[in-house]
Structure 1
């Protein structure tokens, strides 16, 4: 971080960025509900015409919100002095993987808005459903598993956040295996994403309250 920025300020700004990202992701899912399952080509086209602005707004919120959250994950690695450890590098790799999967899903949202060819709506939505599997199979576990160990071996956040991160990694991986043979994930499967949003939000709030202590732990 720049030398003129204190560790406490860095903690607060990183946490605020994460909170903003969580709120953006939640808003994106609220306004971008998607077309009905098994819709016809005509229904996909109608949905795109009626909800194009909401879909584009939701796509932007998801893309930027995800980036803000992962920026917080990188900040946690930096604050824990783990940037050059195996756990730190694996967290960077997991964050990159998750961001790539999220952006692929965003591309599918926008792709489905194109009216020609008339099958574009179905193609975009089907690819989007396929991409969602990657979030559970590899993206989320690849981030939460190493980040959990980074937290456990540092004093930036209470250890409970490390254990919860490991639990989330296992839960995501288990759901990924359990839902592997379903082409479309159920709402019960995707509800796990809401649970992990609470983890990010809580971690950010706690980091703000611990910012003074972290300043004392790692004086500049």
Structure 2
């Protein structure tokens, strides 16, 4: 597979993953805290919860494949920043799958207590995104970009800044129920999620431009 095709496929997968993620968030409103309302909520949104859980499991995988593609294109697989990015990708995927597991547990619970426990674990796991999962993925990726020419350096600095902000927010809300800081966390998470399609589109443009430049040089060489 050519580098151009590899770059384009990885970038398109990332864009699709981000779309999946936003769709999964829009399928269901936040579950109610009242037990009676929670039962009705589970019955009404059962299928939507399952579809949303599937999308939320698939979308990070597509994004992480894009991240790994950037590490490979940057030839950083043996450098510290590249290895740290790979470890961060594993942490991010693990945290996401744990959250999805509890969503599935709540949707398929046979009694109210199990559903409430599953949702409680969901809220607990969501702390991990800001504490470790988000920063562990995007901060070392920023250094990979800065140490290579795979993407513009501004995207590397932006990645490090977003990851650092995520980590700071994670510390600030460490002793706070995640629902109390959901608005702030949602804004930071949205910024991080938008970084990936911007990076993906940039990679596609670069791949196409480099391909045209190579083709132009070949034509000049033939004509000479």
* TM norm. shorter chain > 0.5: yes
TM-score for the superposition, normalised by structure 2: 0.90
Is 1:47 aligned to 2:37, yes or no? Answer: no
Number of the residue aligned with 2:177:
183
Q: Is the 8 A contact 1:156 1:214 kept in 2?
A: no
User: Which position in structure 2 is the counterpart of 1:210?
Assistant: 206
Cα RMSD between the aligned structures? 1.5
Shift of 1:117: 3.0
Does the aligned pair in 2 maintain the 1:114–1:120 contact within 8 Å? no
Q: Deviations over 1:94-117 (max 9, x none)?
A: 000001111111111111123423
1:10 aligns with 2:11: no
1:171 aligns to 2:165 (yes or no):
yes
TM-score with structure 1 setting the length: 0.92
Any stretches of 5+ residues in structure 2 without a counterpart? Answer: 215-224
**Residue correspondence of structure 1 range 127-206 to structure 2 within 5 A:** 127-185=121-179, 186-206=182-202
Q: Is 1:19 matched with 2:15?
A: yes
1:213 deviates by: 5.0
Q: For 1:39 and 1:50, how far apart are their aligned partners in 2? A: 15
Preserved CA contact (<8 Å) 1:175 1:189:
yes
Greater helix proportion: 2
Higher normalized contact order (CA 8 Å, seq sep 6+, divided by chain length): 1
Q: 2:52 is matched with which residue?
A: 58
Report the alpha carbon displacement of residue 48 of structure 1 after superposing the two structures with TM.
Answer: 1.1
Shift of 1:214: 5.3
Partner residue, 1:68: 62
For the pair shown, which has the larger CA radius of gyration, 1 or 2? 2
How much does 1:124 deviate?
Answer: 1.0
Runs (4+) of structure 1 exceeding 4 A deviation are 213-217
Consecutive unaligned residues in structure 1, runs of 5 or more: none
Distance 2:96 2:187 in 1: 16
Which residue does 1:97 correspond to in 2? Answer: 91
